[in-house]
Amino acid sequence: MKRAVITGVTGQDGAYLTALLLEKGYRVHGTYRRSSTPNFWRLEDLGVREHPNLTLSCCDVTDLGSLARLIDTAEPDELYNLGAQTYVAASFEQPIATAMMTGMGPLNLLEAVRIVNPKIRVYQASSAEMFGKVQTVPQNEKTPFYPRSPYGVAKVFAHWMGINYRESYGMFVASGILFNHESPLRGLEFVTRRISDGVARIAHGSKKPLTLGNLDAKRDWGYAKDYVEGMWRMLQADEPDSFVLATNRTETVRDFAALAFKRAGIPIVWTGQGEDEKGVSAIDGSELVSINPEFYRPAEVSLLIGDPAKAREVLGWRQTTTLEELCALMVDADMARVARERHAAHEPLGQPAGHAWLAERAVAAPRL
């Protein structure tokens, strides 16, 4: 039986990867950062929290000793490093903490592997945020990096460290340069989930508009479940290498919001410009989206679009889900969750904007 360690097991990718590896017959040791209330809801939603082949323990990637002990005990064949501070906006508020977790964390891990067992195959979660102020369109493995956030800078450091350990010590360190990947398990701080959650509340009668930041930012959004499959494929390859995982399609935040409102049966029109821009209902003129300048970042990544040709050719990796399908998955799951919350609170459901189908989906969709 193959053994894998996953750091950051409680996050979106950690949970999907855990489910995938358990399904493939792995024994999985997942680690999470100590907190007063460990956050296992994603593993519970995927039905793997109590799986007999899953062990969960605390470990901090900023602590080399705890990583070395973990590797010594778990004796993994593969190690997926997903544990980091991953919210770009927060990296401007906490650049040093981000550098420690997102930059130094991977270096600690590489050192621990080198000391304990350099034969372990390592997956490093690199990021499209490394491309920042993009130097080519679309971006591929050869595109020079120009990070625009402390998070992006820390990821570039970790990325090059991985390559250095590959070249210096012959270690199998694969690097996945992943473009934005989303799902109903995405944290509420990220824009797609913020939108699907806000849309669901409005569809259920909330009068509070959804507040967003920069609507013009363009992202290449894929489905997280597809991307963890890519991570696994990278560690099954003959040689360690770096691979872009992306959809090769880019849309603005405004477009994603419009798609989400459409899915909920609420067509939106946009009025005004810049900080005065608003999204209003095409049906009754009510305000659906307003801008909060506080959500703007000190330096923005305006356009990301990835070229996954190398992953397609070498790994046989393919995305399975279009942006419309992804958005529908997220909106439907949040609709169902909001319906359940209201039901639990004995609140009458608001008159959802034209959704006879809502009640059905409330039963089918996962709890969030």
Ligand X SMILES: C[C@H]1O[C@H](OP(=O)(O)OP(=O)(O)OC[C@H]2O[C@@H](n3cnc4c(=O)[nH]c(N)nc43)[C@H](O)[C@@H]2O)[C@@H](O)[C@@H](O)C1=O
191 near ligand X, judged by CB under 6 A: yes
213 near ligand X, judged by CB under 6 A: yes
For the bound state, the minimum distance from the C-beta of residue 364 to ligand X, rounded and expressed in Å, comes to: 26
Closest CA to 247 of 219, 216, 214: 219
180 near ligand X, judged by CB under 6 A: yes
Q: Which of 142, 269, 295, 325 binds ligand X (CB under 6 A)?
A: 295
For the bound state, the minimum distance from the C-beta of residue 300 to ligand X, rounded and expressed in Å, comes to: 6
Residue of minimal Cβ distance to ligand X:
217
Query: Closest CB to ligand X among 241 and 251?
Result: 251
Query: Closest CB to ligand X among 213 and 279?
Result: 213
What are the C-alpha distances in Å from 139 to residues 220, 243, 309? 11, 11, 11
Contact positions with ligand X (CB under 6 A) in 58-87 = 86
Query: Closest CB to ligand X among 76 and 147?
Result: 147
Q: Which stretch binds ligand X (CB under 6 A): 22-30, 49-57, 190-198, 327-335?
A: 190-198
What are the C-alpha distances in Å from 164 to residues 77, 80, 300? 21, 18, 29
- Extract the tokens encoding 244: 């872009």
Contact positions with ligand X (CB under 6 A) in 245-274 = 253
Query: Closest CB to ligand X among 146 and 190?
Result: 190
Q: Is the peptide bond before 138 cis (omega within 30 degrees of 0)?
A: yes
Instruction: Report which DSSP code applies to 365.
Output: S
Q: Is 111 exposed, middle or buried (0-12, 13-18, 19+ CB in 10 A)?
A: middle
Query: Closest CB to ligand X among 172 and 221?
Result: 221
For the bound state, the minimum distance from the C-beta of residue 252 to ligand X, rounded and expressed in Å, comes to: 9
Going 341 to 342 to 343 to 345, the CA torsion angle's sign is positive
Query: Closest CB to ligand X among 129 and 241?
Result: 129
Query: Closest CB to ligand X among 244 and 301?
Result: 301
Q: Which residues lie closer than 8 Å to 74 by C-beta, 6 or more apart?
A: 3, 5, 29, 55
In three-state secondary structure terms, 218 is strand
Number of H helices, E strands in the chain: 13, 15
308 near ligand X, judged by CB under 6 A: no
Q: Which stretch binds ligand X (CB under 6 A): 44-52, 55-63, 297-305, 312-320?
A: 297-305
For the bound state, the minimum distance from the C-beta of residue 305 to ligand X, rounded and expressed in Å, comes to: 12
For the bound state, the minimum distance from the C-beta of residue 127 to ligand X, rounded and expressed in Å, comes to: 3
Q: Which of 61, 128, 224, 331 binds ligand X (CB under 6 A)?
A: 128
146 near ligand X, judged by CB under 6 A: no
Q: Which of 219, 225, 254, 263 binds ligand X (CB under 6 A)?
A: 219
Cα 127 to Cα 120: distance, rounded to the nearest angstrom: 22
What are the C-alpha distances in Å from 264 to residues 267, 332, 352? 8, 8, 9
Q: Which residues lie closer than 8 Å to 11 by C-beta, 6 or more apart?
A: 42, 82, 83, 86, 187
What are the C-alpha distances in Å from 327 to residues 37, 64, 199, 220, 258? 30, 39, 11, 13, 10
For the bound state, the minimum distance from the C-beta of residue 250 to ligand X, rounded and expressed in Å, comes to: 11
In three-state secondary structure terms, 273 is coil
For the bound state, the minimum distance from the C-beta of residue 178 to ligand X, rounded and expressed in Å, comes to: 6
Which residues of this chain interact with ligand X, rule CB under 6 A? 86, 88-89, 127-129, 179-180, 189-191, 194, 212-214, 217, 219, 253, 295, 297, 300-301
